[in-house]
Structure 1
Amino acid sequence: MTAVLPPYYATPALPAPRRLTRTEDGERLHALLWPVRPGHRMISSAVLGGGLGERAWILNAQVTHGYRRTDPERHLASLAAQAGVRGPGVGLMTAADVSAYAHARDGGAEAFVTAGVDVRGWAARPGEGAAGAPDPGTINVVVAVPAALTDAALVNAVATATEAKVQALVESGLDCSGTPTDAVCVVAGSPAPGREAHAFAGPRSLWGARLARAVHRAVRDAVTDGGRDRRPPAVEGPVELPRETPPMGSAVRHETPAPGY
């Protein structure tokens, strides 16, 4: 039997993303943009807008392979401004083609995943040190639940999403727990009068279980060819963005990749 959600939970926390396109360094690149209704809180490991707080939008931008800018936060903020969004937001980066994202929904929880897995491995590897910047290969997970979550539950949701990601990778035959630059963003719904925020988001809690199943399915789709065919259409695009020019005097090399690309 399929559970019927109350009206508060019937509307997704995230709409389908807008797909944006731009030309940068001679390449045509895509980005996904989610405007978010007021009052939603997020927790993220993203290079722009990471941490915990209210955010107004999420941008997942494709960058060139061998990305060398040392100011990814400024770069993402510029792309967001060119897309016309205002206020604080979350910006992620990846060298993967974000137009090939995968989407899954479970009981009101939604997951959007872009995946580049050419550079992957296990989180704990003995004897590994900083050996220079690897080629970008990133799994970006954007997940939303329409229910309000406490601070602790938001942290719990990040752990749950990561566990589900690793499960999907292993079941897909990939010998890894992720890539060195994976990023995650969890969006929680606005509190409603008379409705307390959920205190748990582990994999056996109500919303954690739904979140885990959505992330698991979206990651599996994202790392297989079938995921591209099952993604929902982007709703407002493509929209041509102006070419973003690096600031005068900025460096062109860094030794370690920024999180999220």
Structure 2
Amino acid sequence: MTAVLPPPHTAAGPLPVRQFSRVEDGERLHGLLWRAGAGWRMISSAVLGGGIGERSWVLNAQVSHGYRRTDPERHLAGLARDAGAGGPGVGLMTAADVRAHGHASDQGVTAVATAGLGVRGWAASPAEGVTTAARPGTVNIVVAVPAALTDAALVNAVATTTEAKVQALLDAGYDCSGTPTDAVCVAARSPRPGGEVHAFAGPRSLWGARVARAVHQAVHAAASRA
């Protein structure tokens, strides 16, 4: 049984996330919801709304450490709907307490990160990969860019976000590149007729440099609270 309580907190900035709480199977869990509205294209590795497309909201939902549901897409869609989000969106999940998120901005770019680092390691490992889902520890990162990006630049922005995440984890004292279930969502404005569309988002590009700095600050803050 799930009960969603009214959101008590709104973070200021270009990516205003609303915090809400719910009770699920007797446990109080939390979530962050960004109701972006129309005019956004997002790229994400999320279980709900992944890939590239027009999206109007992003949910980062805390789940129990013993999460065993086999329908995470349906679960996340229901949580978003109960929290007031409609239309297509992106749904992320984590076992971390999302109230300890990091929030940072750099010249118009905003990043919000949550860090569950109980199960962490290096990406290149001799261990064999598995086909089943890993435990939901997870570093989740959401980035908003107030400019239009090409598809290639959106992919580039994901790479830049990941590089900045690893740098932040090392700077925060963690000997790892992340967790097995890290997820990312980068949102950029939808192109407008006659408007500029940026083709690059690497760490030394105009918008990529801002993405890298914002993500580094947000992940470092979240990791320091983990």
TM over 0.5: yes
Q: How far apart are residue 223 of structure 1 and its match?
A: 0.8
Matched, 1:173 2:173: yes
Residue 63 of structure 2: aligned partner: 63
* Match of residue 136 from structure 1: 136
2:98 counterpart letter in structure 1: V
In structure 2, give the amino acid aligned to 1:208. Answer: G
Gap regions ≥5 residues in structure 2: 1-12
TM-score, normalisation: structure 1: 0.78
Instruction: Report deviation, 1:82.
Output: 1.1
**C-alpha contact (below 8 Å) 2:134/2:181 kept by paired residues:** no
Q: Which shows bigger deviation, 126-135 or 59-68?
A: 126-135
Per-residue CA distance 1:76-117 (angstroms, 9 max, x = gap): 011111112211000000000111111010111110000010
Secondary structure at the counterpart of residue 223 of structure 1: helix
Q: CA separation of 1:64/1:127 partners in 2, compared to 1, >3 Å: closer, same or farther? A: closer
8 Å CA contact 1:13–1:187 kept in 2: the answer is no
Residue type matched to 2:161 in 1? A
| 1:31-65 Cα distance to aligned partner (Å, 9 max, x none) | 11111131110000000000000001111100001
Preserved CA contact (<8 Å) 1:13 1:36:
no
2: CA distance between counterparts of 1:137 and 1:64? Answer: 10
Cα pair distance change 1:132/1:190, threshold 3 Å: closer
User: What does residue 151 of structure 1 align with?
Assistant: 151
Give the structure with the higher percent strand: 2
Task: Mark the CA change 1:76 to 1:121 in structure 2 (over 3 Å): closer, same or farther.
Answer: same
Task: Give me the TM-score of the superposition, normalised by structure 2.
Answer: 0.90
**Correspondences of 1:222-261 after superposition (within 5 Å):** 222-225=222-225
How far apart are residue 18 of structure 1 and its match? 1.1
* Contact kept? 1:60, 1:91, Cα under 8 Å: yes
RMSD over aligned CA atoms reads 1.8
3-state SS of paired residue (1:147): strand
- Secondary structure of 1:64 counterpart: coil
Q: How does 1:1-261 map to 2 (within 5 A)?
A: 14=15, 16-130=16-130, 134-225=134-225
In 2, Cα distance between equivalents of 1:119 and 1:224: 16
Alignment-mate amino acid for residue 108 of structure 1: G
Percent of pairs identical after alignment?
71
Q: Which has the larger radius of gyration?
A: 1
Contact 2:107 2:210 in 1 (8 A): yes
CA-CA distance at 1:127 after TM superposition: 3.7
Q: Which residue pairs with 1:253 in the alignment?
A: none
Deviations 1:3-41 (A, max 9, x none): xxxxxxxxx653x11111110021101111111131110
Q: 1:186 and 1:131 mapped to 2: Cα distance?
A: 26
Change in Cα spacing, 1:54 to 1:203, as seen in structure 2 (3 Å) is same
Secondary structure in structure 2 of the residue aligned to 1:28: strand
Moved over 4 A (4+): 131-134
Higher-RCO chain (CA-CA 8 Å, sequence separation at least 6): 1
Query: In structure 2, do the counterparts of structure 1 residues 134 and 37 end up closer, same or farther at CA, with 3 Å as the change threshold?
Result: closer
Structure 1 residue 196: deviation in Å? 1.5
SS at match of 1:81: helix
Amino acid at match of 1:103: H
Structure 1 residues 126 and 120, CA gap change in structure 2 (3 angstroms): same
Answer yes or no: is the 8 Å Cα contact 1:119–1:134 preserved in 2: no
Q: Secondary structure of 1:204's partner?
A: coil
Taking the aligned partners of 1:133 and 1:109, their CA distance within structure 2 comes to: 31
Q: Which residue of 2 aligns with 1:251?
A: none
